[in-house]
């Protein structure tokens, strides 16, 4: 059995949920509430010592990193392949999934964190905040939390992250002008990875992610939303929204 540990269907959790649903995999869903810092609790750290979601347990082994999880399930359950059928196509796919992990996702994630953290931490005492912070295994994550919660990020830093999101959208647009899907003619994990970062972009970055400037990106986004696997992933139970715990965020980033 596949045991998938994930948060609400967004970003890296959405990336694995879309792949699992597209492939029609049966799995045990374990919701990890990031807003209650469950990813840093001892129980979860046994599954992923880095304290990050998603993580997969299968066949007695653990797999971390959303991109690696998606490659793993695509190898183990090849019936509905999510990789192009040529080596060059797979290389194009991996250049995209790498770009998402190293560039697109970090920029977006920093912005999300910037707009979200105070809604999470404002209700904590300083001591509680320090306690939560001390449990975070990765120093980079601790630094990100502290800077965002205490000092805030300087405007030029926010601008730099926005610039990277724009570069990412423009890069998708350029490719989608030529190809139906990001790695070529075939829907693949490249589309899954990019889509996981994209549902909120037309609203939050309407100044550059819109019908006029990036029509192929918008068309691709619409085609993604029509897919059954994507619909099923986005419709996964979301305990945060049901309980009203989802923190408020501004419409524009």
Least distance (Å) between residue 91 CB and a copy of itself:
5
Nearest to a copy of itself of 80, 95 (CB atom): 95
Nearest to a copy of itself of 77, 132 (CB atom): 77
Nearest Cα to Cα of residue 204 among 247, 250, 157, 168: 250
Q: Compute the distance between CA of residue 63 and CA of residue 236 in angstroms, rounded to an integer.
A: 21
Least distance (Å) between residue 48 CB and a copy of itself:
11
Least distance (Å) between residue 109 CB and a copy of itself:
13
Least distance (Å) between residue 130 CB and a copy of itself:
21
Nearest to a copy of itself of 88, 231 (CB atom): 88
Nearest Cα to Cα of residue 65 among 47, 85, 38, 82: 47
Query: What are the start-end ranges of the H helices in 53-154?
Result: 66-76, 87-99, 105-121, 126-134, 139-146
Residues 70, 192 contacting (CB under 8 angstroms): yes
In the complex, the residues that contact a copy of itself under the rule CB under 8 A are 59, 61, 63-65, 67-69, 71-72, 75-76, 87-88, 90-91, 94-95, 98, 101-102, 139, 163
Structure tokens at 215: 């029509």
Report the SS3 class of residue 184. Answer: strand
Least distance (Å) between residue 88 CB and a copy of itself:
4
Q: Which residues contact 145 (CB under 8 A, 6 or more apart)?
A: 113, 117, 133, 136
């Amino acid at each position: 059995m596949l045991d998938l540990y994930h948060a609400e269907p967004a970003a890296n959790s959405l990336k694995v949920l879309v792949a699992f649903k597209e492939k029609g995999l049966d799995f045990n869903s374990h919701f990890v509430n990031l807003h209650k810092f469950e990813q840093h609790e001892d129980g979860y750290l046994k599954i992923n010592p880095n304290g990050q979601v998603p993580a997969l347990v299968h066949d007695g082994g653990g797999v971390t990193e959303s991109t690696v999880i998606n490659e793993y399930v695509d190898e183990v359950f090849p019936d509905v392949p999510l990789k192009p059928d040529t080596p060059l196509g797979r290389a194009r796919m991996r250049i995209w999934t790498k770009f998402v992990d190293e560039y697109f996702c970090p920029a977006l994630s920093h912005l999300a964190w910037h707009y979200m953290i105070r809604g999470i931490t404002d209700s904590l005492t300083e001591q509680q905040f320090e306690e939560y912070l001390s449990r975070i295994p990765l120093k980079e994550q601790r630094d990100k939390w502290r800077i965002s919660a205490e000092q805030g990020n300087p405007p030029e830093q926010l601008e730099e992250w926005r610039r990277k999101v724009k570069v990412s959208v423009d890069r998708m647009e350029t490719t989608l002008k030529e190809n139906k899907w990001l790695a070529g003619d075939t829907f693949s994990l490249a589309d899954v990875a990019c889509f996981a970062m994209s549902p909120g972009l037309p609203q939050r970055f309407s100044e550059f992610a819109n019908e006029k400037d990036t029509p192929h990106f918008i068309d691709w986004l619409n085609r993604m939303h029509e897919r059954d696997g994507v619909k099923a992933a986005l419709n996964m139970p979301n305990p945060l929204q049901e309980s009203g715990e989802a923190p408020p965020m501004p419409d524009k980033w």
